[in-house]
Amino acid sequence: MGYTDPSPIQLRSIPPALEGRDLIGSAQTGTGKTAAFALPTLQRLQQHGRLRCLVLEPTRELAAQVETSFRNIGRFTDLRVAALFGGVGYGNQRKALQQGIDIAVATPGRLEDHLKQRTMHLRDIEILILDEVDRMLDIGFLPVVKRIVGMCPRNRQTLFFSATVPPEIADLANFALRNPVRVEIGASRSVTSTVTHGIYTVAQSLKFDLLQALLAETDFQSVIIFTRTKHGADKIAKKLKVANHTVAVLHSNRSQNQRIEALEGFKNGKYEVMVATDIAARGIDIAGVSHVINYDIPEHPEDYVHRIGRTGRAEKVGDAFTLVTHDDFKKLRAIERFIGQKIEVLRLESFKPAAMTPEQKQAAKEEQTREQAERPAPQQHQQRRHRPKNRQHNRNKSSFVNAKGERNRRLR
């Protein structure tokens, strides 16, 4: 597996996990978290038997990746592991369950399907692992997760991993865990020290030209380009292929076979560039990614940390660039406040864009309108309004501005 010395999250998580303690842990991305829960789990299970360990993951890519890690680490044991996720048929999964597995790595939706179909049960679960819980919150899985936790035996070990712990996740942790050991490695808001990151300011109409110039001037081994929309990812990938780049595409509209082929092709070097939406921003462990480029600035500040964390993994160095337009400065400031630092502004001296023709300007405007229409509506969070103590006073008095612009008071 290439391990010589344990990473900080492994060093602090494995001993209490081996003791059977509940644990809540957070660490920067790319620090070996999967091994931090896989190693003690395999050690505790030891031999093939019943289904005794359940690992919940937010996406099918993460489930497949974690299943592979369990198989690789436990290849000299007789323990059996299976991944249960959507986007594929039930046949092979049912067959694995019938033959008997020790560890199930599942997404909440597909796991609930199997439970409803009674192809499996959770009565013998001894170890429950909830991974990337904050991502499960983002995609609305927490109610399903809570139902699944309630189906597991109360006398179990629970390992809980989340980059952040907002109130909703804290409630789930209180429900699922018993007197947990807390392990926090680094600040969840910080960018790992192995990544050098900066921004390039550019007009919206010139973003792709700048992207091409960056790829031409950068000595990269492999690069992930993040876009805001699925349509944007497809469009950029198509243009890059025309420019003779080998390109993989990863977003939720791709079939499971297409997603697997894209990931495997990018890992083995068949593709030098992967264009992806935020589906790949968390947890996808691809060794040797030298560069990340945010073609579109992320909607949420925490996603900036997760995106650029795809490079500089396992103590290797990496570079991350973000293309910022005039309309993005508000989001940029939010990211800088979130990570607690100013992001360096970079310049590419060789980038001298040609003037756009009227037809190109019109096409760019239409494209921008289409991408804005595809963006998901921002989530509305209900907040309790502040009500002044003297409600009667505020009801009886109001102010208005007269024609001369002077503010006056009147009594109703």
Interior angle at CA 54, CA 50 and CA 56, nearest 5: 160
412 within a domain of the structure (yes/no): no
- The verdict on 341 and 298 lying in the same domain is yes
d(CA 247, CA 272): 6
Residue 245 has pLDDT above 70, yes or no: yes
DSSP for 217-268, please give it: H---S-EEEE-SSHHHHHHHHHHHHHTT--EEEESTTS-HHHHHHHHHHHHT
CATH at 57: 3.40.50.300
Residues 141 and 243 in one domain: no
Tokens for 210? 């700048």
Q: Is residue 200 located within the same domain as residue 167?
A: no
Clarify whether residues 79 and 104 are in a common domain: yes
- Tell me the HSE value of 321 on the side-chain side, using a 13 A CA sphere: 22
Same domain, 13 and 158: yes
pLDDT digits (tens, 9 = 90+) for 111-120: 999 999 999 9
Going 104 to 262 to 163 to 69, the CA torsion angle's sign is positive
Q: Flag whether 377 is in a domain.
A: no
- The total of structural domains in the chain comes to 2
250 versus 410: the higher-pLDDT residue is 250
Name the DSSP letter for residue 392.
H
Please write the tens of the pLDDT for every residue from 283-308. Answer: 566 778 899 999 999 988 888 888 88
Whether 364 is in a domain gets the answer: no
pLDDT digits (tens, 9 = 90+) for 21-59: 999 988 766 678 899 999 999 999 999 999 999 999 998
Residue 111 lies in a domain: yes
Among 127, 154, 185, give the residue marking a domain's end.
185
223-239 average pLDDT score? 93
State which of 185, 219, 252 marks the end of a domain. Answer: 185
What is the rounded distance in angstroms from the CA atom of residue 198 to the CA atom of residue 204? 18
What is the reported pTM? 0.63
What domain range includes position 297?
195-349
Judge whether 386 lies within some domain. Answer: no
Evaluate whether residue 229 is within a structural domain.
Answer: yes
Q: Are residues 42 and 163 in the same domain?
A: yes
pLDDT at 339: 86
87 belongs to a structural domain = yes
pLDDT of residue 380: 47
- Residue 276 placed within a domain: yes
Query: Domain boundary at 136, 155, 185, which?
Result: 185
